[in-house]
Amino acid sequence: MEVKRGTAGKPVEAGHVKTPSIFVHGLRLGDRLYTFILIRFLVVGAIVVGAFFAPVVVGIQDLDVAGLVSLAAVLGGCNVITFLVVRPYHRNADRAAEARRFLEGVLHVTIFIDFICLTVAIWLVGGPQSPFQAFFIFHVIIASVLLSTRAAYIHTGIGYVLLTALVVGTWRGWIPPHYPRGAVPCGGILEGRYILTLLVVQGMLFALTALLLTHLMNLLRTDEAELVDANEELSRLSEMRRDFLHIAMHNLRSPVGAVSMMLSNMTSGYGGTLSEQHRQWVDRSQQRLEELSRFIHDLQFLSATEAGALEEHAEPVDMRDLLGRLVEENQDLARAREHVMTFESDDEAASVAGIPRLLREALVNLITNAITYTPEGGRITVRVQKRDQRVRVEVEDNGIGIALEDQGRLFQEFVRVQRDDAPTTKAPGSGLGLSIVRRIVEAHGGRVQIISELDKGSTFVVELPAA
């Protein structure tokens, strides 16, 4: 069956507020280390490939290929060990949090081994004149981002000492030089002034990088701590609100039931005949009570979707069957407003995994809204079809429609749209219906959209994963 759009207008999805997240802090130490290890495997590969290709492709001469490959083997071996040690903590935030000190230790050792390997690599590729010295900064950055301020400074210091030892050692002739021709600009000519300039510039670079990054990381950590606190406070308040809702609902339900029963006793004449005036008052009280109990009923569903009721076992629900029955059950209501309500469906089964009671509540809300917010003599079509592993339900009416600016917020609690030129908007209601629809649909892994145009009509689209 081809589902036609009855109304023009862009689909607007049910929106809700998302908790902000800072990407740096979203990653746990285990995950960060794991990423770091994967990058190091790439570096090992790059050293081996570079050692073989640099002489052949770029024409670098006197390159110590055996030395570089041995270095890659040592680095790769260490990395395999680290990989095996860290793997159990990858994507396991709780375990990583428990073993935080241990993982920090692993990180210290790996950064230290990296510095040693890097120093050897630089020695093999030109020492004081090697362009690869820049890789020292990379490790200063990693240490500053992943470790505490003190640890970052210690690693920066270690890196600088190693670089100084290499540069000064080569200059003084204590370390045999390696000058692969082509990779190093002026092999062999080392002056004290050059060595001094190099060490001062590198020292400043190391210090500034570490200072700036640790400062930034401290700011981010403070923000993160504030966010965590705010989040905890929010959860606490949300729990309080839920408890309050429960108590309020519980305490409201029984008196409303009791008063309603006493009023119907009065209308039935058990306490004597009522005057016309009394009968009117009683009728009006009953109407108001009816609205109040509908409101309590809505609140109950709202709290059911919050309190994890959806974790109850879901069961296969045939949406064709459910919608067919709902359309049938609501025909009287539609006829009372002189609407023509029809149901269309595919021949294919359209089952979803869900909780029938909740799905029913969501769909009833959409159908009764369509009946309510369409002026008398309207046309309402309920459709269901299966589309690429999703079941799509449409409730279309040719009613008053919804302005674009109102569409996004309709799914929030207690939002109602009142229009003086559309008397149907004055219908009694709580403004909770659509928020219940959204919660139920999202809790089932689906989504809701509105396609609507003012004064032309609305189509509410619910998409759920097919079972």
- Distance in Å, CB of 291 to ligand ADP, minimum: 10
Q: Is 416 in the site for ligand ADP (CB under 6 A)?
A: yes
| Secondary structure letter of residue 354 according to DSSP | E
Residue 314: what are its φ and ψ, rounded to 5°? -75, 155
Q: Which residue has the tokens 């209308």?
A: 267
Q: Are 389 and 362 in contact (CB under 8 A)?
A: no
- Distance in Å, CB of 392 to ligand ADP, minimum: 17
Q: In sequence order, what DSSP letters do the residues of 51-97 get, joined into one string?
A: HHHIIIII--BS--HHHHHHHHHHHHHHHHHHHHHHGGGTT-HHHHH
Locate 90 and state its tokens: 């990858």
CA distance 74 to 76: 5
Residue 314 or 402: the one with the smaller Cβ distance to ligand ADP is: 402
Q: Are 9 and 406 in contact (CB under 8 A)?
A: no
Beta bridge partners of 340: 379
- Distance in Å, CB of 40 to ligand ADP, minimum: 54
- Distance in Å, CB of 394 to ligand ADP, minimum: 12
Beta bridge partners of 461: 394, 449
Write the binding mask 306 to 345 for ligand ADP: x where contact by CB under 6 A, - elsewhere.
Answer: ----------------------------------------
Residue 127 or 457: the one with the smaller Cβ distance to ligand ADP is: 457
Locate 215 and state its tokens: 């400062």
Beta bridge partners of 318: 351
Q: Is 463 in the site for ligand ADP (CB under 6 A)?
A: no
Write the binding mask 129 to 158 for ligand ADP: x where contact by CB under 6 A, - elsewhere.
Answer: ------------------------------
Residues 341-370 that bind ligand ADP (CB under 6 A): 365, 369-370
Locate 226 and state its tokens: 């504030």
* C-alpha triplet 392, 396, 401: angle, nearest 5°: 130
Tell me how many residues contact ligand ADP (CB under 6 A).
Answer: 20
Write the binding mask 383 to 412 for ligand ADP: x where contact by CB under 6 A, - elsewhere.
Answer: --------------x-xx-x-------x--
Residue 286 or 425: the one with the smaller Cβ distance to ligand ADP is: 425
Q: In sequence order, what DSSP letters do the residues of 305-333 get, joined into one string?
A: HHTTGGGSPPEEEEHHHHHHHHHHHTHHH
Residue 114 or 361: the one with the smaller Cβ distance to ligand ADP is: 361
Residues 421-460 that bind ligand ADP (CB under 6 A): 425, 429-434, 458
- Distance in Å, CB of 137 to ligand ADP, minimum: 57
Residue 248 or 403: the one with the smaller Cβ distance to ligand ADP is: 403
Residue 90 or 416: the one with the smaller Cβ distance to ligand ADP is: 416
CA distance 122 to 315: 64
Locate 205 and state its tokens: 């670079």
Q: How many CB atoms lie within 10 A of CB 439?
A: 23
Q: Is 184 in the site for ligand ADP (CB under 6 A)?
A: no
Residue 34 or 460: the one with the smaller Cβ distance to ligand ADP is: 460
Residue 119 or 430: the one with the smaller Cβ distance to ligand ADP is: 430
* C-alpha triplet 91, 94, 96: angle, nearest 5°: 65
- At residue 158, the 3 state secondary structure works out as helix
- Distance in Å, CB of 221 to ligand ADP, minimum: 42
- Distance in Å, CB of 304 to ligand ADP, minimum: 16
Interface ranges with ligand ADP (CB under 6 A): 365, 369-370, 373, 397, 399-400, 402, 410, 415-417, 425, 429-434, 458
